[in-house]
Structure formats: C-alpha cells, structure tokens
Amino acid sequence: MEEAEAEVTWKRETIPKVLKIVSTRLPQRDLISLLLVSPWLHRTLVSHPSLWLVLDFSQMGNAGNRLVAALSLPRYHHVKYINLEFAHDIEDKHLELLKSKCLDSLQNLESLNLNGCQKISDKGIEAITSVCPILKVFSIYWNVRITDMSIEHLVKNCKHVTDLNLSGCKKISDKSLQLVAENYPKLEFLNLTRCINLTDRGLQQILFKCSFLQSLNIYALSSFTDEAYRRMSLLTYLKFLDLCGAQNLSDDGLSCIAECVNLVSLNLTWCVQVTDEGVIAIAQGCTSLEFLSLFGIVGVTDKCLEALSSSCSNTITTLDVNGCIGIKRRSRDELLHLFPHIKCFKVHS
C-alpha cells in the first residue's frame, strides 16, 4: 500500500516539479513534443503559463498559419515574445487574422521580431500594432516596403517601445524620426542602419528628445554631418555607437561625441576624415572603452594609440587598426604591449 501511495505521489508531485524545472530550458519544439507523451504530462505542462511565453517560428515554413493556430490555443494567451525572423511567408493577411481572431492573446506581448519579413507592408503593421498595447521591443530589419505610415501606426498604438530596429527600412524618412522622438522619450536602443533617406534634421530630433539612448546604430549612413554629430554629446547614457562609414564626421564632431563618457563600444570604421585629434579626444573622454574600430582611417598615427593606452589600457579588449597606414606599431605584440587585455584584433575582414 505504501509503495503504491509513494508511486502516486511520485507521479503527481515529484515528476511535475522536475519537469517544470527541466522544461524551462527546453527548445520550443521539444516542449511541444512532450505534450504528446501522455495526458497527465500534457496537463502538467499546460498548467504552467510561464512555459508558454515564447513563440519562435524564425526561418520556418508556413510560419503565418502556424502562428495563427498557436495563438488560438489557451496556453499561449499570455505570450510575451514572438520571433518571426526570416519567416519569409508571413504576409499582411496573417497579421490581420491575428487582429480579428487572436486579440486577447496579444495583450501581453512585449517583443515582436519581424526581421526579414519582406512581404509585410504598412497594412500589416497597422493590424499587428493595434493589438499589442504594451509592446516594448519592435524589430523589422530589412523591410523595403514599409513607409513612414508604419511608424505612425506604431507610435499611435504602442506607447511603451524602448527598443526599435528599423535597419534597412529604406523608405522611412525624417518624418519617422520625428514621430519616434516625440513619442518615445524613454527609447534606449535604436538601429537606423542603411535608412538612406534620413538627414541631419531627423537625427537631431532623436538626439534632442531621446536622452536615455544607450545604443545608437547609424552604420552605412554617409549623409549625416557634424551638425548632427555635435549633438550626440546630449546622450549621456550612450554605451554603444556605430558610425561605420560616417564620411562627414570630422575631429570636431568626434570631440563632441567624446562627451559621451559612458561609451563602451565605438565603431569608427571608414570615418575617413578623422585624425589623431579626434581619437585623442575620445581617449580622454571615454575611459571605459572596450571596443574600438579605427579600420581604414589613414589619418591616425601611433600618437592616438599612446593616448588610448594611457586611459583605456585596462578596458579595451577589441581594437581594429587594420588599414591605418599611419600607425606603424600595429603588430600583435606591439598592440598587446599597449593594451594587454586585447582578445580581438580584427573586426572587419
């Protein structure tokens, strides 16, 4: 009798507790497979909402229909994270179905990744943002269809966004940046890589009004000038800044960026107007630097490395000076002498 009771206790109490712990570490596919093992295991897993907060259909076929089907299930009514990155078949019609059929399931959504979903247009963005009132993270990298209208829908419907990735959205303009600046003063992460229609005017709106930015990526945008770069001194919380290809950035602009004293990562690859003067300003102002790329800058010399070594020798772990022909002492051993904690000597190949 005691053995039978112990077995029942084992099945009803011990196994569910163990499975709850183990299941939190399982990939989504394995977790779903466990549901099919037995009815009691199905009941055990479904009874723990914390196991069903993520839907990941990245790079999957038929992702649109799978998403709609999943969100129709009760266990996903509290989902917080949806990843559809490079789920190429996702279309506006799927997002419109979510609006009409799965409204309740998206009320707790905090993060939505639509990277590489190139069939989505402003129409789809209007539908999905209208049912995600507490969205905080929105990423739609490499979408050449959406326009400023999508950003209008986003700021109207989602008031709490702090992380926004618009990389490769080539149709957005300064109007989008104005909307972002006016509606997201607490924005912390912004990626504008290759948004080629942006100008100083739009970027300055961000710099003036989004003072809590910690990460700003404006990679491959050569249209900005020092008129905007000088205003980066306003970003006192900034830790990550990618200026790769900023062809108009001068030492004057870089000296203003040096006032961002919390910078940890700075990419100056192909910032061809920069010289020792600007890098020395960075060395003196940004003493917590861990990552710095000077790749391809011919106007810098050993003098700037000496300045960096004086202030950042204990922090820099990544330093790329390849192509900096003015720097003569750039062998591995010579760089390690100046920066003993370097682990990476090459960022760009």
Which residues 6+ apart lie within 8 Å of 224 measured at CB? 198, 199, 200, 203, 218, 246, 248, 249
**pLDDT tens readout for residues 218-227:** 999 999 999 9
**pLDDT tens readout for residues 152-166:** 999 999 999 999 999
All structural domains of the chain with their residue ranges: 1-49, 102-346
pLDDT exceeds cutoff 70 at 144: yes
pLDDT exceeds cutoff 90 at 22: no
The rounded radius of gyration (Å) of the Cα atoms in the chain is: 25
Average pLDDT over residues 321-345: 96
- The helix-helix angle for 148-157 and 174-183 (nearest 10°) equals 10
If you average pLDDT over every residue of the chain, what do you get?
A: 93
CATH architecture designation of domain 102-346: Alpha-Beta Horseshoe (3.80)
H helices present in the chain, as ranges: 2-9, 15-23, 28-34, 39-46, 63-71, 92-101, 122-129, 148-157, 174-183, 200-209, 226-229, 251-257, 276-285, 302-312, 332-338
- Reference 224, options 197, 185, 261, 251; nearest CA is 197
Backbone angles phi, psi at 341, to 5 degrees: -100, 10
Average pLDDT over residues 264-273: 98
Q: How far apart are CA 184 and CA 252, in angstroms?
A: 29
Structure tokens at 250: 């001068």
Q: What is the pLDDT, as a whole number, of residue 42?
A: 77
Q: How far apart are CA 286 and CA 136, in angstroms?
A: 29
Q: What is the identity of the amino acid at 4? A: A
Q: What is the pLDDT, as a whole number, of residue 278?
A: 98
3-state secondary structure string across 8-43: HHHHHHHHHHHHHHHHCCCCHHHHHHHCCCCHHHHH
pTM of this prediction? 0.93
Confidence band, pLDDT 50/70/90 cuts, at residue 10: low
Q: What is the pLDDT, as a whole number, of residue 202?
A: 98
